[in-house]
């Protein structure tokens, strides 16, 4: 059974200590992840040492990342009066990290992405293992199959951890939030798939509405609203406080994802680490794209280019120019500003201590102004 | 929140009432599944009506089946002194049914199976939907991607239900069993994949050991031992009683799977509902096959035929003859008998009421003597 590492108390918690609190939390998170993986190594080793690559594939994803969801969970906990040094938000944060890892493993299979954070994606790790060993049958199929199982295992780990997070307290509200979050992400991802498939055969207004709905469920709620609420619920936040969290974090999450969509088209490859116009090659049907297609110009020409994996620099430049000319970029930037303002206004009204509010303010700023 | 349907008490629970108890339990299970799906329909509908096919695809798998795992959970509960009419084993049984549905959805993707229980498998349902609507991009890829998400959602549902099963009581032991069960299944499935990939490149003794290990973790524990223990743990069974459950259900599960392996090669298509020699075409590396390959004869010839999807009736007959001639069939039957005897001996020693023992006896008989 997991005995989580609480952040060690080194005293002090004024608003200047935010960074220190976060560092302690992150360190405790990393320790808990390591310990959990070590325990699972024993469990899997008892089944067969040959099953251990499942675990090491998961570890490639839980060892990095910005820990944004876990940090939101921590500040949701703090803002509801939870102690700076407590195990519950650390374990729940670890559960969120494993859930995210599971989602990434399956996402990469669905998107056929070969890399993740500069390393081979999990299905590529397994197909590479197959090729290196010279095994039989199809290496790619082996890789995909193993990645489906690794993602499933990682989902189960996330659940195991989440349940442990409220072992010492009633976790009904937190449980409901966690359940709902998972359903929203999976439904949102399905809608995203559908959007790609339905593609150009819809009116621009319908496409915009769909894009905003996907963004809300697949991203804004999952990445911002639910983690924050989860931390609050674990600390015993009441309904009103959880609604105040939502009023802040949902528009923030929407602004965050809209920013992501803009970066996917206009981001600087040196900063984002992705090829220029990557989202255009993937044919992502974001709000930005839906708005551009619906704002006159030449939607047929745009539809013909979108989703072409071999799009060259000229075509990327052409699409960018069309999006700018349509006014869609300016309108999306304005929507980001509006959603951000909504979030910051709600944050001012949040009935929480100054430190927590300041910490959330910093997280929010980083989320909407980032360039990568 | 789920308010589970407890089986309604219609009085009496002597050993003649076993069938009646099981019918009531199955009816309560079906009601609970229906109610849960209805609740989730509301949740998904609030996200988007377009996400509802995820739910209907899951419903195609939770509406049928033998409910064997749920029944084992019920009798594990009863044998530990649980009331015949209680919600906990119904909800836990429902959780097991959803877990099994999730495993089948992902299994069918991994095995590329087009049908499941005579209907299109989930990825086929989604690719069919894509084709029928004339959507863009690749229908098959859409089907596989949607099925990965549907399986993930179904795993989350399973967890949501499982947590609800012990809402009124401490569920630590049950939780640990459930966690372990999931890990075992996923690791076992991975080892099975690996086995197919490594294929002929191993000594027969190693292959036999591997086949038995896979059978234990992927099937025997998951299908028999863990569900029974789960029911017991929910009813507060102590460690000794849980060990007594295991002593019965683990060899039973092994016998059950060995019987399945024999039927996969020698089963009558009219009874099993699968084409003759289906497992030979799939190239499954079971204990039966490993033993046949290791018992002289012509392993090279067998290896050349195994896994050929176009195997004709003559080749199936040839392989069957080789397996019989090698003595592997007789030895597998003898192992089934030995494991069954071990299970029945352990059942006699199980400290439980007569009704529960009799019910478990009937389930065990059905499991090891079945012809389909």
User: Looking at B102-116, B145-159, B269-283, which range is the least confident one?
Assistant: B269-283
Contact between A50 and B187 under an 8 Å Cβ cutoff? The reply is no
- pLDDT class for B272, splitting at 50, 70, 90? confident
Interface test with A, best of B2, B46, B48 (most A CBs within 10 A): B48
A47 touches chain B (CB under 8 A): yes
- Find the CB nearest A186 among B1, B152, B172: B152
B371 pLDDT above the threshold of 80: no
- Please indicate whether, in this complex, the C-beta atoms of A149 and B193 are within 8 angstroms of each other: yes
Which chain B residues contact residue A146 at CB under 8 A?
190, 193
For the cut 60, the answer to whether the pLDDT of residue A81 exceeds it is yes
- Say yes or no to pLDDT of B113 above 50: yes
CA distance A354 to A359: 8
* Local confidence band at A205 (pLDDT 50, 70, 90 cut-offs): confident
- Say whether residue B41 is in contact with chain A using an 8 A CB cutoff: no
Check B110 against A145: CB less than 8 A apart: yes
Residue B16: the pLDDT is 64
**Between B1, B145, B176, which is nearest A193 by CB?**
B145
Better-scored residue on pLDDT, A143 or A111 = A143
| Closest of A228, A237, A226, A235 to residue A87, by C-alpha | A235
The arithmetic mean of pLDDT across residues A180-190, rounded, is 91
Task: Please report residues of A whose CB lies closer than 8 A to that of B48.
Answer: 187, 191, 210, 213, 217
Closest alpha carbon within chain A to B44: A187
**Residue A42: partners with Cβ closer than 8 Å, 6 or more residues away:** none
Residue A3 clears pLDDT 60, i.e. is over it: no
Nearest to A193 among B1, B43, B146 (CB): B146
State mean pLDDT over B3-28.
71
Q: What is the pLDDT of residue B64?
A: 80
- Report how far Cα B264 is from the mean position of its chain's Cα atoms: 15
Considering only alpha carbons, which residue of chain B is nearest residue A217?
B47
pLDDT, position B11: 44
Task: Using alpha carbons, select from B227, B49, B112, B277 the residue that is nearest to residue A142.
Answer: B112
Asked whether the beta carbons of residue B190 and residue A136 sit closer than 8 angstroms, the reply is: no
Q: Is A131 on the interface with B (CB under 8 A)?
A: no
Please determine, for residue B118, whether its predicted confidence score (pLDDT) is greater than 90.
Answer: no
State residue B8's pLDDT score: 52
Backbone dihedral region for residue A116 (phi beyond 0: left; psi -120 to 50: alpha; all else: beta) = beta
* Residue A137 pLDDT: 80
Single pTM value for the model = 0.88
Residues within 8 A of A (CB atoms), B 278-337 only: 307
How far apart, in whole angstroms, are the C-alpha atoms of residue A293 and residue A301? 10
- Neighbour tally for B129: CB within 10 Å: 18
| B206 pLDDT higher than 90 | no
Per-residue pLDDT for A15 more than 60?
no
Q: What are the tens digits of pLDDT across the range A324-367? A: 999 999 999 999 999 999 999 999 999 999 999 999 999 999 98
Min Cα separation A187/chain B (Å): 6
Q: How close A109 gets to chain B, by Cα (Å)?
A: 8
- The predicted-structure confidence for A238-295, as pLDDT tens digits, reads as follows 999 999 999 999 999 999 999 999 999 999 888 777 777 888 988 888 999 999 998 8
What's the confidence (pLDDT) of residue A13? Answer: 46
Smallest CA–CA distance from B52 into chain A, residue:
A187
Q: Does B135 touch chain A (CB under 8 A)?
A: yes
β-strands A115-116, A119-120: how paired?
Answer: antiparallel
pLDDT over 50 (residue B10)? no
At B215-235, the pLDDT tens digits run 999 899 999 999 999 999 999
Query: What residues in A contact B130, CB-CB < 8 Å?
Result: 197
**Residues of A with CB below 8 A from B36's CB?**
none
**A40 and chain B: CB distance < 8 Å anywhere?**
yes
Does B37 reach chain A within 8 Å, measured CB to CB? no
Q: What is the pLDDT of residue A193?
A: 85
How does the average pLDDT of chain A come out, rounded? 90
pLDDT of residue B312: 93
Distance CA B238, CA B210 (A): 32
Percent pLDDT > 90 in chain A is 70
**Largest Cα–Cα separation, chain B:** 62
Please name the member of B150, B156, B197 whose beta carbon is closest to the beta carbon of A182.
B156
Judge: A190–B130 Cβ closer than 8 Å, yes or no: no
Comparing alpha-carbon positions, the chain B residue that sits nearest to A179 is: B160
How far apart, in Å, are the Cα atoms of B17 and each of B10, B21, B84? 11, 6, 11
Min Cα–Cα distance to chain A from B93, Å: 18
Among the residue ranges A14-23, A314-323, B81-90, the one predicted with the least confidence is: A14-23
The pLDDT-based confidence of A203 (bands split at 50, 70, 90) is confident
Max mean pLDDT among A160-174, A264-278, B22-36 falls in B22-36
Question: A148 vs B176: CB contact, 8 Å cut-off?
Answer: no
For the segment B39-61, the average pLDDT, to the nearest whole number, is: 93
Residue in A100, A156, A177, A199 to test binding to B, most B beta-carbons within 10 Å = A156
Question: Which pLDDT score, from 0 to 100, does residue A238 have?
Answer: 95
Looking at every residue in chain B, the average pLDDT score rounds to 90
Could you give phi then psi for residue A316, rounded to 5 degrees?
Answer: -60, -45
- Taking an 8 Å cut-off on Cβ atoms, the answer to whether A187 and B151 are in contact is no
Q: Is B160 part of the contact surface with chain A (CB cutoff 8 Å)?
A: yes
A7 pLDDT above the threshold of 70: no
A9 vs A280 pLDDT, higher one: A280
**A51-55, A195-199, A320-324, A330-334: range with lowest mean pLDDT:** A195-199
Cβ–Cβ below 8 Å for B191 and A136: no
Q: Is residue A2 scored above 70 in pLDDT?
A: no
If you measure CA to CA, which chain A residue comes closest to B1?
A176
Min Cα distance A4 → chain B (Å) is: 16
What string of H, E and C letters represents the secondary structure of chain A? CCCCCCCCCCCCCCHHHHHHHHHHHHHHHHHHHHHHHHHHHHHHHHHCHHHHHHHHHHHHHHCCCCCHHHHHHHHHHHHCCCCCCCHHHHHHHHHHHHHHHHHHHHHHHHHCCCEECCEECHHHHHHHHHHHHCCCCCHHHHHHHHHHHHHHHHHHHHHHHHHHHCCCCCCHHHHHHHHHHHHHHHHHHHHHHHHHHHCCCCCHHHHHHHHHHHHHHHHHHHHHHHHHHHHHHHCCCCHHHHHHHHHHHHHHHHHHHHHHHHHHHHCCHHHHCCCCCHHHHHCCCCHHHHHHHHCCCCHHHHHHHCCCCCCCHHHHHHHHHHHHHCCHHHHHHHHHHHHHHHHHHHHHHCCCCHHHHHHHHHHHHHHHHCCC
At B12 the pLDDT is: 45
pLDDT the model gives residue A4: 54
Angstrom distance (rounded) from CA A261 to CA A283: 12
């Amino acid at each position: 059974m997991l005995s989580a590492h609480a952040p060690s108390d080194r005293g002090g918690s004024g608003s200047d200590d935010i960074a220190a609190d976060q560092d302690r939390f992150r360190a405790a998170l990393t320790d808990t992840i390591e310990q959990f993986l070590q325990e699972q190594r024993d469990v899997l080793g008892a089944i067969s040492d040959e099953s251990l690559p499942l675990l090491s594939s998961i570890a490639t994803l839980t060892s990095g990342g910005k820990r944004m969801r876990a940090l939101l969970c921590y500040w949701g906990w703090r803002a509801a009066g939870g102690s700076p040094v407590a195990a519950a938000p650390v374990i729940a944060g670890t559960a969120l990290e494993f859930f995210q890892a599971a989602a990434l493993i399956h996402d990469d299979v669905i998107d056929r992405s070969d890399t993740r954070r500069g390393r081979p994606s999990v299905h590529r790790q397994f197909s590479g293992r197959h090729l290196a060993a010279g095994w039989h049958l199809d290496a790619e199929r082996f890789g995909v199959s193993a990645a489906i199982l690794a993602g499933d295992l990682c989902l189960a780990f996330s659940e195991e951890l989440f349940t442990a997070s409220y072992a010492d307290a009633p976790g009904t509200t937190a449980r409901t939030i966690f359940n709902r979050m998972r359903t929203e992400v999976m439904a949102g991802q399905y809608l995203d798939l559908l959007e790609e498939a339905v593609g150009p055969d819809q009116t621009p207004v319908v496409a915009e509405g769909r894009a905003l709905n996907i963004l809300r469920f697949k991203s804004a709620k999952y990445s911002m609203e639910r983690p924050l609420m989860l931390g609050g619920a674990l600390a015993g936040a009441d309904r009103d406080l959880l609604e105040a969290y939502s009023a802040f974090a949902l528009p923030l999450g929407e602004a965050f994802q809209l920013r992501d969509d803009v970066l996917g088209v206009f981001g600087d490859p040196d900063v984002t680490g992705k090829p220029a116009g990557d989202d255009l090659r993937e044919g992502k049907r974001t709000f930005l794209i839906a708005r551009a297609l619906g704002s006159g110009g030449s939607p047929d020409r745009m539809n013909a280019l979108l989703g072409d994996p071999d799009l060259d620099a000229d075509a990327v430049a052409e699409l960018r120019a069309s999006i700018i000319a349509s006014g869609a970029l300016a309108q999306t930037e304005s929507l980001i500003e509006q959603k951000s303002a909504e979030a910051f206004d709600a944050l001012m009204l949040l009935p929480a201590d100054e430190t927590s509010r300041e910490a959330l303010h910093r997280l929010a700023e980083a989320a909407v102004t980032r360039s990568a």
